[in-house]
Amino acid sequence: MKRRTKVLRSAVRYHYSQHCLWLAGIGDDCKVVLQGEFMGKWELVMDDDEMESQSPYRLMDVILLPMLILKFIDTEQFQRQVLRDLKQLGLAHMVYPGAVHSRFEHSLGVYWLAGDAVQKLQAHQGLELGIDRFDIETVKLAGLLHDIGHGPFSHVFEREFLPRVMDEPKWSHEEMSVKMVDYIVDEHCIEIDSDSLKKVKEMILSSSEMALPKSTTKKQFLYDIVANGRNGIDVDKFDYIVRDCRACGLGCNFQFQRQIPFVLCGLKIQQLMETMRVMGDEICYRAKDWPYLQYLTSAYVWILCLDLTIHKLFATRADLHRTVYTHAKVKAIELMFVDALLKANSYLGLSSYVHDPAEYWKLDDTVIKTIETANDQELRESRDLLRRIRRRDLYQFCNEYAVPKDRLEFFKDITPQDIVCSQKASGVNLKEEDLAVCNVKINLTHGRRNPLERVKFFKDYDSEEMFSIADDRVSHLLPLCNEDMIVRVYSKKPELVEVISEAFENFQLKTYGLKTQVHETPEKKKRRRP
């Protein structure tokens, strides 16, 4: 059985038969190739001219989806969560119009990257590590399902809305992903080995180091591929960093095919692609020029060392947070959206959905349309806020400041009450509901800790010793502080911008003894009279 298809100018589309599915080109242009079994092996049906016509912005080539994977994909729960109705970047598309990619694309990308990573390790150290088909399928399935527990508009629902309506311990999308996996398996009677299912769920939770299974004594490195709680280097970051940069029209300094041999950005640089090696049950990287490091003392040392490349991974992630995820306008829209959800929660009961996977999967980005088109009087205030967003009548940015480095350790989130209490006597009495405060935390990945300190290197493939490389042995230009905390204040009413800005300035003077704000309205200088 063979079938040819043309390039489809659309979102990701896929088709499958009773045999298997090939999906190609996750991007603006995508190619679907239905492939049958021929001469005992799989052959891709694609002409040379068809290959050339694929979008150069695709992140990866064809992806083979076995039947077990399709059983999870072809469920209403997975389709809801990652195909149609959950944008990867939440509300960022209202500032970056290209940021409309969904979690379906990201999940397929992580699925492919996870499988390729473990297969490369198997090719180089398969006998030594005992990597088998069971391990490969488990890691790939964890990559596919790692984000299935996300709520509407990405992290906004989890980090901004739920903490204000729930009194119980912190809720996380990782834990909900695990519940959703169990629910899908039970609801659709998917036959899967119990040990495999258990490991899939453990791998989803492994982004937290505390969640790593303590009883596991072998193949602990498998838990660092999808979500790495040890040092943050994982295929989840590899995919979303490049995908988000491309969607938002930003350059990407990090070329993650250097880490593992993925041809993802159309680049042929493979210098670092084969450096992964498992030592001491941990994925390590080869420091190719380590012998030269001890002799170099210049202010900026240019060396072909993985330490700099890995630092670019974390630095690019931080840049995305600064320029996209926490963009001042994006946060203003998110604050308004959260206020709309809070006002609608008592009527729609949105917060109750998070306790039951059977109900939670019905919650997606379409909640905004549900509120906008409803005629219920109870949703009037929410509708008004959403109408303001549509008409670009946003909360007004007043000012922001970066918390001094020596205050980061003891910093507590600033609240509207803190700003209101700092208001001096004036003709206007501010209320907490007149303003919104956004506490933005941007770091490399492990809070204030340097994630590079937890990355292990080895000298060469004959060496059995692994070690860390201090930043000052690589470059003196690497940052000494690995976290920024920025406090932003917004006015919900345009006429209160000046009053709130003054109160915010007073708060800074009272707290730090100086104004640390970034923006300041310049005073109009007096002209010299003739």
Catalytic annotation, residues: 173
Question: Who's near 10: CB < 8 A, 6+ residues apart?
Answer: 30
Cα–Cα distance between 388 and 380 in angstroms, integer?
12
Cα–Cα distance between 27 and 500 in angstroms, integer?
44
Cα–Cα distance between 158 and 119 in angstroms, integer?
34
Which residue reads 């004594």 in tokens? Answer: 217
Contact 259, 249 (CB under 8 A): no
Nearest by Cα to 229 from 206, 205, 203: 206
| Structural tokens at position 86 | 């959950």
Strands 466-467 and 457-458: antiparallel
Cα–Cα distance between 196 and 525 in angstroms, integer?
71
Cα–Cα distance between 285 and 469 in angstroms, integer?
11
Rounded alpha-carbon distances, angstroms, from residue 447 to 311, 316, 410, 489: 15, 16, 13, 23
Contact 17, 32 (CB under 8 A): no
Question: Who's near 147: CB < 8 A, 6+ residues apart?
Answer: 81, 82, 103, 106, 107, 110, 173, 177
393-396 contacts, C-beta under 8 A, 24 or more apart? 394/329, 394/332, 394/333, 394/336, 395/332, 395/335, 395/336, 395/436, 395/490, 395/491, 395/492, 396/332, 396/490, 396/491, 396/492, 396/493, 396/494, 396/497
Nearest by Cα to 283 from 236, 224, 205, 235: 224
Helices (H), 17-102: 48-52, 67-73, 76-78
**Three-class DSSP category at 226:** coil
